[in-house]
Structure 1
Amino acid sequence: MTRTVLVAGETLIDFIPQQTGPLAAVETFSRRAGGAPANVAVGLAHLDTLPEFWTRVGDGAFGDYLTGVLADAGLADTYVEVDEEAKTGLAFVSLGEEAEREFSFHRHESADTRLQPGRIDDAALADVEWVHVGGVTLADEPARTATLDLVDRAREAGSTVSFDPNARPELWAGADASFAETLDEVLGRVDVLKATPDDLGAAGIDHDAPERTAEALLDRGPHTVFLTLGGEGSVAAASADAPWAGAPTTVAHDGYTVEPVDTTGAGDAFTAGIIAALVDGAGLDEALGFGNAVAAVTTTAQGAMTALPTREEVATFRAEQS
């Protein structure tokens, strides 16, 4: 395994319902470790691309549980912070009949909102090939400043920086900047964007034609854009500035046929898949196919982290689908 990747952001408790339907009707939940960046970090570990992970949890039972989960996944605790003055964030999930999900967050002044700038020093960043961050920590200070500081210094150090907006509109109520303003700002500061139609819609960006949309987003800063389309697969566009073989190019993947149980974390699994593939030197087309496969396997079991596959499981799945 290699530690050329650094992931930064929230680790939360996901409460997964034991039945489908609206949140108001759910009576029982199962506790699961979650948070988009945490899912990406654990997904990378499962795919033998062991990253460093910078996160912050509360000092208490939920924080203890999460640090244990991260340790069990093989992640070092170098940048796993325990906040003695804040609680761990919570997210309650509801599942629709087609395994689609919605979230209700409980993270006012939670530990993940209290990341501090400068925690990852320049010497550490000099050894990092890829840095990945998400949009949730941009909704609150000081985590917003800490995340943007990391992004800027990582680019200065020569790292590839990827970003998942992970639009959660309720988290932006009362924020100093809107989600749309923040997305526009961050696009000019990152190399790789992974987004969904919901992310783009929340920012007021037209997404009716995915391939054309991906290409248009290249003009806003990143050299590579991935758009995931749920059961319809995904598309990717890369400009001439992208380092991948064959760039500039636009490619599409139709996805894989599965019976979904829970789509929670599927997008994070996709992100882990494309990062692992690209760090390994794959071309854009192969990375897209691998990311789709990782995501598809993840939807066949409940939970986000608990459903993340190994490389061997992904290879078996792809062979069965061919």
Structure 2
Amino acid sequence: MTREILVAGETLIDFLPERPGPISSVEQFDRRPGGAPANVAVALARLEQTPLFWTRVGDDPFGRYLRKTLDEHGLPDRFVERDPDAKTTLAFVTHDETGDREFSFYRDATADTRFQPGRVDGTTLEDLEWVHAGGVALSSGSSREATLDLLERAASRDCTVSFDPNARPELWPDEGVFREGVREALEHVDVLKAAEEELEALGFEGDGVEELARGVLDVDGGPSTVFATRGGEGAIAVAGGDAAWSGTASHPGYEADVVDTTGAGDAFVAGTIAALSEGRDVEETLAFANAVGAAATTAAGAMAALPDREAVRAIRRTE
């Protein structure tokens, strides 16, 4: 069976706190599967567009748990790699009273920093219409070269390439290195999803989120479409003249009973990919992606709350 979408990047363990507050004050954590690309891949499966997923976990108890979880969500194991010489990444998450979170990573030479170029073969790429990756893989190890290689080869085969910077400052030496790494990736990207503050961290300038997004469209050879998220204030989309879809749209987002915002941005990404790959226009795509993101905030844990299409329709009925 030919699959039209491939997602690439890390799968890891999120440890979620029993209550809000700084990590030093939390006594108990719950283990949950996570990693932005893993969340995107599972979210697409929940939206009935199961992708191929290229990821790498340790050959340890955490890695075995994650492989089992991916299998339970129906993701094929063809590109789910097991690293016998490295551990699986762990991330401890802390929340404030509004549900916003911070991360503390244990990611020194772990499996997801050890992707190797060329693992996704040319024949597979020829069968794909869409490839998605995230910025964490660019931050360390051979995964940077492997991710850039994948994006370049996908773009050369006329795949639509999407990218989420997924800025985690603690994983980068400084903001300048983050900016340089992501800017290099953007040379191969068609669709960029980024939070407003991420666009600023990448050095784009403008009075407001729409001007920031239009600054991305001015990058030579860079993205032709930008989806910029603004948390509880919704999101905007700007598509340039070279995009397969056209137009500018904004959406205020949806009301939801927020429990945990972990994974909401990843759910938004999956909603964007699903809608655009189905031929929806920018305005409808933005509304759909916002609904997927809102539904994903209603339970704890990134994967646990990822919605199916009925849950998305329920959120949209509140509009």
Cα pair distance change 1:315/1:51, threshold 3 Å: same
Q: Structure 2 matches for 1:224-303, cutoff 5 A?
A: 224-244=225-245, 247=246, 249-303=247-301
| Matching residue of 1:172 | 172
Aligned letter for 2:11? Answer: T
| Partner Cα separation in structure 2 for residue 207 and residue 32 of structure 1 | 38
| Matching residue of 1:127 | 127
Aligned letter for 2:73? Answer: A
Q: Give identity over the alignment, percent.
A: 57
Q: Deviations over 1:240-296 (max 9, x none)?
A: 11112xx1x211000011221100000000000010011111111111000000000
| Matching residue of 1:215 | 214
Aligned letter for 2:58? Answer: G
CA contact (8 A) 2:42 2:75 kept: yes
CA contact (8 A) 1:16 1:31 kept: yes
Cα pair distance change 1:207/1:294, threshold 3 Å: farther
| Matching residue of 2:312 | 314
| Matching residue of 1:96 | 96
Range with greater deviation from structure 2 (81-90 or 308-317):
308-317
| Partner Cα separation in structure 2 for residue 30 and residue 88 of structure 1 | 16
Structure 1 residue 207: Cα displacement? 5.9
Q: TM-score, normalised by structure 2?
A: 0.97
CA contact (8 A) 1:17 1:95 kept: yes
2:2 matched to 1:8? no
2:107 matched to 1:86? no
Structure 1 residue 172: Cα displacement? 1.0
| Partner Cα separation in structure 2 for residue 207 and residue 18 of structure 1 | 40
Cα pair distance change 1:183/1:150, threshold 3 Å: same
CA contact (8 A) 1:191 1:222 kept: yes
Aligned letter for 2:258? Answer: P
| Partner Cα separation in structure 2 for residue 148 and residue 238 of structure 1 | 23
Aligned residues: 317
| Matching residue of 1:189 | 188
| Partner Cα separation in structure 1 for residue 196 and residue 285 of structure 2 | 20
| Partner Cα separation in structure 2 for residue 19 and residue 216 of structure 1 | 40
| Partner Cα separation in structure 2 for residue 64 and residue 198 of structure 1 | 35
| Partner Cα separation in structure 1 for residue 196 and residue 96 of structure 2 | 18
| Matching residue of 1:69 | 69
| Partner Cα separation in structure 2 for residue 281 and residue 227 of structure 1 | 20
Structure 1 residue 317: Cα displacement? 1.9
Q: TM-score, normalised by structure 1?
A: 0.96
| Partner Cα separation in structure 2 for residue 118 and residue 134 of structure 1 | 17
Range with greater deviation from structure 2 (197-206 or 264-273):
197-206
SS in 2 for 1:307: coil
| Partner Cα separation in structure 1 for residue 77 and residue 155 of structure 2 | 24
- Unaligned segments of structure 1, at least 5 residues: none
RMSD: 1.5
Range with greater deviation from structure 2 (10-19 or 189-198):
189-198
- Unaligned segments of structure 2, at least 5 residues: none
